[in-house]
Amino acid sequence: MENQTLDTTQIATRSEQVINHLKEVVVGQDRTIQLMWAAILTKGHVMVEGVPGLGKTLLVRSLGQVIDASFARIQFTPDLMPADVTGTKVFDLQSGRFNFKQGPLFTQLLLADEINRTPPKTQSALLEAMEEGQITIDGEGRKLPDLFFVVATQNPIEYEGTYPLPEAQLDRFALQLTMDYPGEEEELEVLRGHRVTTRRESTLTPMITAEEIVAFRQQVEQVRTEDSVIRYVASLIRATRAHPQVLLGASPRAGTSLLALSRAIAAMDNREYVTPDDVKWVIQPALRHRLIMSPDVELEGFKTDDLIEEITRTVSVPR
């Protein structure tokens, strides 16, 4: 049952404060910041792609400073083992028993840097954690913090010595964000203020607590979604499966994720209801990593975003 006393004012106000604070450090990535914050409000995880030097790590590191929560970074390498991520049991000579030593996965905000540089066995160590909020060691489940948020990065142009993530793991990410080069004016701002940016990053202070975010997540789930909007989302998802140039369409999980993100966008805009425009605004980053196009489409130079845009134009928008 929906909460009739839902008030999105606080969500919108606090979100604007955090986003504006991050914009002071990360220049030219406004949409990326907004989408990442929407994912946090929906228990989603984020994959960020971009060539080196665009500020991927800077953004997540700054986010870790703005949120009053524990933060950990894992630099994925070819020799990283699953136990290096999840933790392992260590024998204690004094007590004569094995004690569990937590890995960096036991945090509230996790940066998985260059996740495609580690073998699939280690990549899969994140699967249960991202989906279930827990990991299993020797048959014993260990719960992760309530605010468990993963941001994984990868370089889309380097393939030598990398291990592409399988579709099952990509589907665990609510969004795939692409960080592009900044515009001319934004790049000039970066060059003029690079020393100022370094100082600003060092002075970032926590602006919101993990408890507040968890409470906001519960409120976002109560944002009203009319049946017409739900049918619109279903039509979009089903259209991806019927498109002749798509080998693998979006899953039902993709639909629920798209709907949840649309609720977050509405709440951030201080609205208690979802509109089709909310769905359109987030549909490309929510689906681009979940579709597999036919090879001839890629050879012709079309991108997944182009195909999603085409599908969005063909599906009727509810009035």
For 128-181, the pLDDT digits (tens) are: 788 888 887 777 788 898 889 999 988 776 666 677 887 878 888 999 998 877
Pair 206, 71: CB distance under 8 Å: no
Can you list the domains of the chain with their CATH numbers?
1-209 (3.40.50.300), 223-319 (1.10.8.80)
What is the rounded CA–CA span in Å between residue 236 and residue 213? 29
- Host H or E run for residue 100: strand 97-102
pLDDT tens-digit map of 27-69 = 788 899 999 999 999 999 999 987 777 778 888 888 988 998 8
Q: Which residues have C-beta within 8 Å of that of residue 140, sequence separation ≥ 6?
A: none
Distance from chain centroid for Cα 126: 14
Query: How far is 239 from 311, CA to CA, in rounded Å?
Result: 7
Cα 127-133-136 angle, rounded to 5 deg:
70
How far, in Å, CA of 301 to CA of 189, rounded?
Answer: 33
pTM listed for this prediction: 0.88
DSSP element (H, E) containing 134: strand 134-137
- pLDDT, residue 1, reads 38
